[in-house]
């Protein structure tokens, strides 16, 4: 299906992303709710100028440093993540020596199996999530399931596109949480120690690049990077970019085709 999208289309990446999610739904990897989540994300990405803003890049570097310093890092994979960046997640797991665990909001054994197979087809050796022998406290049964030697035992969890409830429950367990979410106001982004407000298709390769760059860094150097990262500042910068339009931010690399009008304070004109 992606053959149908001309590469010179100005919004090629966005269309490709949409098609990957569609294909994920068709092959039983992504849930139908995943389509809605994607649409929500796209709206924010459009307002960000479909680019990695500097605060998101700082967050990606802090995420790489945090994952490299972790004792037992786990990367969580849901249906949207598996459809959009399977190879890149396997690469990240390799770069920071982390486990991959499938973790679904709408959990069915069939979808779980398909995602595990899909990740293996993209180079993963071991994928956790099938055992489900531990529970996250204060969540209803299906949403609470995790592996005892995976997310339950992890000190640092990377949970891109995570549901707000589960993000809050994981943070309450004392895990250092790294989230990728295009909405800086979502509870997942608000809960994370390191929120990366960026499209996952840009964020994961960017974390991999930072991890490779920091591969030989001393523990003290990694700590300095994570200590100097401030989640509230990064979230504020992302929200400002979205509200003001990315043309007025220092991050601008946009051309006229992708200009978006600033959102004005106060009254909103009715739609025509």
Binding-site ranges for Mg ion (CB under 5 A): 163-164
Among 57, 88, 181, 251, binds ligand ATP (CB under 6 A): 181
Q: Is residue 200 involved in binding ligand ATP (CB under 6 A)?
A: yes
C-beta of residue 100 within 8 angstroms of C-beta of residue 77: yes
Among 88, 163, 177, 237, binds ligand ATP (CB under 6 A): 163
C-beta of residue 53 within 8 angstroms of C-beta of residue 193: no
Residue 147 interacting partner from ligand ATP, Mg ion, none (CB closer than 5 to 8 Å by kind): none
Residue 188 interacting partner from ligand ATP, Mg ion, none (CB closer than 5 to 8 Å by kind): ligand ATP
C-beta of residue 227 within 8 angstroms of C-beta of residue 112: no
Among 52, 66, 76, 183, binds ligand ATP (CB under 6 A): 183
* CA–CA dist 174, 162 (Å, integer): 17
**How far is C-alpha 247 from the geometric centre of its chain's CA atoms?**
24
The string of DSSP codes covering 189-225 is: HHH-SEEE-S-HHHHHHHHHHHHHHTTT--HHHHHHH
Q: How far is the CB of 1 from ligand ATP (least distance, A)?
A: 18
* CA–CA dist 163, 49 (Å, integer): 24
* CA–CA dist 130, 106 (Å, integer): 14
* CA–CA dist 205, 17 (Å, integer): 15
Q: How far is the CB of 117 from ligand ATP (least distance, A)?
A: 22
Q: How far is the CB of 183 from ligand ATP (least distance, A)?
A: 4
Token pair for residue 19?
Answer: 């098609």
Nearer Cβ to ligand ATP (69/186)? 186
Binding mask 214-253 for ligand ATP (x = CB under 6 A): ----------------------------------------
Interface residue list for ligand ATP (CB under 6 A): 37-38, 40-41, 44, 84, 161, 163-164, 180-183, 186-188, 199-200
């Amino acid at each position: 299906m992606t053959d149908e999208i001309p590469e010179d289309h100005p919004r090629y990446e966005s269309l490709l992303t949409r098609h990957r999610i569609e294909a994920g739904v068709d092959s039983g990897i992504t849930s139908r709710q995943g389509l809605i989540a994607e649409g929500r994300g796209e709206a924010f990405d459009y307002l960000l100028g479909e680019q990695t803003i500097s605060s998101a890049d700082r967050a990606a570097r802090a995420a790489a440093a945090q994952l490299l310093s972790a004792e037992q890092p786990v990367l969580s994979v849901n249906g949207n993540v598996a459809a959009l960046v399977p190879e890149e997640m396997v690469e990240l797991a390799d770069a920071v020596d982390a486990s991959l665990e499938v973790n679904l909001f709408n959990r069915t054994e069939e979808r779980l199996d398909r995602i595990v197979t899909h990740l293996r087809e993209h180079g993963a050796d071991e994928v956790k999530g099938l055992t489900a022998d531990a529970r996250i406290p204060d969540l209803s049964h299906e949403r609470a399931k995790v592996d005892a030697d995976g997310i339950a035992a992890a000190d640092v969890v990377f949970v891109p596109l995570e549901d707000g409830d589960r993000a809050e429950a994981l943070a309450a367990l004392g895990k250092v949480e790294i989230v990728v979410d295009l909405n800086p106001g979502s509870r997942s982004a608000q809960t994370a120690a390191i929120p990366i407000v960026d499209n996952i298709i840009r964020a994961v390769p960017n974390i991999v690049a930072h991890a490779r760059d920091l591969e030989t860094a001393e523990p003290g150097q990694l700590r300095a990077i994570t200590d100097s990262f401030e989640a509230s500042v990064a979230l504020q910068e992302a929200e400002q970019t979205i509200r003001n339009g990315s043309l007025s931010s220092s991050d601008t690399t946009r051309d006229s085709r992708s200009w978006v009008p600033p959102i004005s304070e106060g009254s909103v004109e009715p739609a025509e």
